[in-house]
Amino acid sequence: MLARWTDSLYELIVRASSDLPEDVQAVLEHACAGEEPGSNARRALETILENASRARRTQRPLCQDTGALLCWVQAPAGSHRSPFQSAFEEAVRRATADGVLRQNSVDSVSGCNSGTNLGPGSPVVHWREGTESVWRVSLVLKGGGCENVGRQYSLPNSELGAGRDLEGVRRCILDAVNRAQGKGCAPGVLGVAIGGDRATGYAESKRQLLRKIGQRSTSDELAELEKRVLQEANELGIGPMGFGGRTTLLDVFVGALNRLPASYFVSISYMCWAFRRKQMVANVEGEVLEWR
């Protein structure tokens, strides 16, 4: 059973690394059509789309920075984490050896690279038990460039004139986009979390990246905020890779957590255009039933 799980998780990594999701492909194509012919923005998006096509065809990484492995697991009730963790780590080791993943895990004290993408905090696995009989395993590969331009704000913020309300949140998000410029490999997708503590806020902002392009929040207020920020960010003129144009963001996903009365954090995770996200649904033996 462990071998089947390892094979399935290896395939999950390959698909996430090389196959741009259909919803991301579609929004990039729409954005490309909306940029001026011959403009730097149009050429950048055309290059991005050609790169995505070649990566999918050859099953090679979309980007040379294959990123941090962020995994969310919903397991059937009573499942044990240890066998899954062992299978996932073996899949990561194999994918690294095969060049599907870059050797990307560095000891923060010594500077030594493990060469396997394994080590303390790598890969990241968020585990929870659900009520279904199947396993749902979602994987996001998040590169360093976009990770570096994520930001966290504590409200109120006098510099931005941002209070403890959704208008203050809006100001924080637009400030983060403006500060990022093209350094996060725009056009990007933002995952935003309002509330929580400093750690849970960032974790929730990354979980928002599991949503599909165009999937609005179930909260009417947050859905309106998502749409407004998306429009306003694309009016900043930063554009693809910072070359100018109409497409700075592809989407914005906002969630909220309860917070302490003394704290009001806004945590923003930036995802680059290489939005590598894939989910597999599997049975208890590790046989894949569905790819999403």
> Are 287 and 263 within one domain?
no
Are 97 and 14 a contacting pair, CB within 8 Å? no
pLDDT in tens, 162-217: 999 999 999 999 999 999 998 999 999 999 999 999 999 999 999 999 999 999 99
Instruction: Tell me if 48 is assigned to some domain.
Output: no
Instruction: Tell me if 220 is assigned to some domain.
Output: yes
pLDDT of 285 above 90:
yes
Say what the pLDDT of residue 65 is. Answer: 97
- Report whether the peptide linkage leading into residue 261 is cis, meaning its omega lies within 30 degrees of zero: no
Across the range 207-232, mean pLDDT stands at 98
Share of the chain above pLDDT 90, in %: 99
Instruction: Tell me if 24 is assigned to some domain.
Output: no
pLDDT of 282 above 90:
yes
Long-range pairs for 80-89: beta carbons < 8 A, 24 or more residues apart: 81/125, 81/127, 83/1, 83/2, 83/5, 84/5, 85/125, 86/2, 87/2, 87/5, 87/6, 87/9, 87/286, 88/9, 88/123, 88/125, 89/118, 89/123
> Are 104 and 217 within one domain?
no
> Are 128 and 76 within one domain?
yes
> Are 203 and 241 within one domain?
yes
Say what the pLDDT of residue 214 is. Answer: 98
Across the range 78-105, mean pLDDT stands at 97
- Band of the pLDDT at 48, cuts 50, 70, 90? very high
pLDDT of 81 above 80:
yes
- Band of the pLDDT at 56, cuts 50, 70, 90? very high
Q: Domain with 68 in it: what CATH number?
A: 3.30.1330
Instruction: Tell me if 21 is assigned to some domain.
Output: no
> Are 100 and 160 within one domain?
no
Instruction: Tell me if 31 is assigned to some domain.
Output: no
Global confidence as pTM:
0.95
> Are 76 and 8 within one domain?
yes
Instruction: Tell me if 153 is assigned to some domain.
Output: yes
Say what the pLDDT of residue 1 is. Answer: 73
Say what the pLDDT of residue 2 is. Answer: 87
> Are 181 and 258 within one domain?
yes
> Are 70 and 185 within one domain?
no
- Band of the pLDDT at 154, cuts 50, 70, 90? very high
pLDDT of 250 above 90:
yes
Closest CA to 176 of 217, 259, 258, 232: 232
Across the range 273-289, mean pLDDT stands at 97
Could you tell me which residues come within 8 angstroms of residue 22 by beta carbon, excluding any fewer than 6 positions away? none
Instruction: Tell me if 226 is assigned to some domain.
Output: yes
Could you tell me which residues come within 8 angstroms of residue 202 by beta carbon, excluding any fewer than 6 positions away? 150, 152, 193, 267, 269
> Are 126 and 243 within one domain?
no
pLDDT of 94 above 90:
yes
Structure token digits, residue 29:
């194509």
> Are 193 and 239 within one domain?
yes
> Are 83 and 171 within one domain?
no
Instruction: Tell me if 75 is assigned to some domain.
Output: yes
Instruction: Name the domain count of the chain.
Output: 2
Identify the sign of the CA torsion 90, 91, 92, 98. Answer: positive
Across the range 226-237, mean pLDDT stands at 98
Range of the domain at 82: 2-16+62-143+276-291
> Are 188 and 211 within one domain?
yes
